[in-house]
Structure 1
Amino acid sequence: MSTPEVPRRVRVTSPRTSAARRMAINTGTREIDEQTRVGEVYMHSLIQSQLRLALAVIAGAALTLGSLPLLFLLVPATRTFSVFGLPLPWLLLGIAVYPVVYVAARIYVRNAERIETEFTEFVGRK
């Protein structure tokens, strides 16, 4: 009985080991990670975009929901109008508010994701 042959070790190397190394390119993410002035500008831009979006959505929702009490004040017939035996103000302020808030939240999330995607693509290109 003979002993099985042990496979011989082979050293594998890259054919480009002697090639000149590429210089590292400063990307936007590197600027942000190293907290350089350019990285601060990038982050400030992202935060400003997010803040603008949040304020726009809040203002739109507040304007929509805030106009309901104004409607009841300026149009007295809306205070006494009933739908299926329920007063219109109760229906609008108690039920119709939730779809408005839901739509505002969906708009915010969709646009916030778009802003973040655009920012990630922009920073990755630099």
Structure 2
Amino acid sequence: MSQPPQRVRVTRTRRPTRRDRPPTVRDEIAGHSRLGTTYVSSLVRAQLQLSLSTLAFGAVTLGALPLLFALVPPARRLSVLGVPLPWVVLGVLVYPGVVLTARWYTRASERLERDFGDVVGRR
């Protein structure tokens, strides 16, 4: 008479677990590893560079207006529809420029975050 097959004890499934696969970027960031810290610091550095360049652009353009009116006195005496040119520039032209700069900054910042999200989600 033949012997019955020996019983096999199953202790775990053969599905891959988290330990079996390489860590993702999201795991690296959540685990505060050196690689995760590098990814996050690169995002922070890009955002800082964008912020400083936007601030520099605003300081140069808005800072140049008083300098322009100080160095070119006839520009102070010009008027548009009876309103002095400095008032027209400061009261009418500056605000659309600030709004456009803020809009550009917002889009660029969202693009940085979207690109970072793509990198994190992809790996």
Q: Normalised by the shorter chain, which TM-score bucket?
A: 0.7 to 0.9
Does residue 112 in structure 1 map to residue 109 in structure 2?
yes
Supply the AA of the counterpart residue of 2:100. Answer: V
> Given the two structures, how large is their TM-score scaled by the length of structure 1?
0.80
Counterpart CA distance in 1 for 2:103 and 2:115 is 18
| CA distance in 2: counterparts of 1:20 and 1:123, whole angstroms | 24
* Counterpart mapping for 1:94-113 below 5 A: 94-113=91-110
**Residue 121 in 1 paired to residue 110 in 2?**
no
Q: Aligned residue for 2:25?
A: 28
TM-score with structure 2 length normalisation?
0.82
The residue type paired with residue 33 of structure 2 is T
Contact 1:53 1:108 in 2 (8 A): yes
Tell me the secondary structure at the aligned position of residue 23 of structure 2.
coil
> Which residue, out of 52, 74, 90, partners 2:87?
90
Q: Which blocks of at least 5 consecutive residues in structure 2 are unaligned?
A: 1-11
Aligned to 1:37: 34
- What is the alpha-carbon root mean square deviation over aligned residues? 1.6
Segments of structure 1 that go 5 or more residues without pairing to the other structure are 1-16
Contact 1:72 1:78 in 2 (8 A): yes
Counterpart residue type for residue 47 of structure 2: Q
Conservation of the 8 A alpha-carbon contact between 1:61 and 1:100 = no
Give the match's secondary structure for 2:92: helix
Q: Deviations over 1:10-51 (max 9, x none)?
A: xxxxxxx95432524311111111111111111110000000
The answer to whether the Cα contact below 8 Å between 1:33 and 1:39 also exists between their aligned partners in 2 is yes
Answer whether contact 1:80 1:88 (CA < 8 A) is retained. Answer: yes
User: Structure 2: how far apart are the matches of 1:117 and 1:86?
Assistant: 45
Length, aligned pairs only: 110
